[in-house]
Structure 1
């Protein structure tokens, strides 16, 4: 599964609710709880919970750590002007 982040000019356009939903579904399909995933990915539990709820504005490095741990791929796609 590939998660896409669209980059326009100097900022990212990310629908955090969709990304959070995909992360949560993948985590649950792997039968991993939030505490385990947070520890394996090296992120805080509160950060992971917020991402799964579609809240906040996570750092790209945080998203990369989580999706890598889940065996997902994160692509950055440059939008044409």
Structure 2
């Protein structure tokens, strides 16, 4: 999973014509974070990962067989 994400980020960055530094600056994170993401570091803050993915126009979608049930209960609780 980690390797897949690392390759996905590298692929999208290169296809976007960005260097690691340019991506980091656009996402508001350090260059080291982009390097670590592309090399499969396993512990990265979720908010920083989301910033990088947003710049690359990559959606983060959590899949679960119980997702619909969760959303219904969550929505009903907010009412």
* Fold match by TM threshold 0.5: yes
Larger relative contact order (C-alpha < 8 A, sep ≥ 6)?
A: 1
With the length of structure 2 as denominator, give the TM-score of the two structures: 0.76
Task: Give the strand-richer structure, 1 or 2.
Answer: 1
With the length of structure 1 as denominator, give the TM-score of the two structures: 0.74
Cα distance in structure 1, aligned partners of 2:26 and 2:13 = 12
Structure 1, unpaired ranges of 5+: 1-14
Structure 2, unpaired ranges of 5+: 67-79
Q: State the Cα RMSD in Å.
A: 1.3
Matches within 5 A, 1:1-81: 15-78=1-64
- Alignment-derived partner of residue 8 in structure 1: none
Which aligned runs of 4 or more in structure 1 are off by greater than 6 angstroms?
none
Task: Give the helix-richer structure, 1 or 2.
Answer: 2
Q: Tell me the matched-pair count.
A: 66
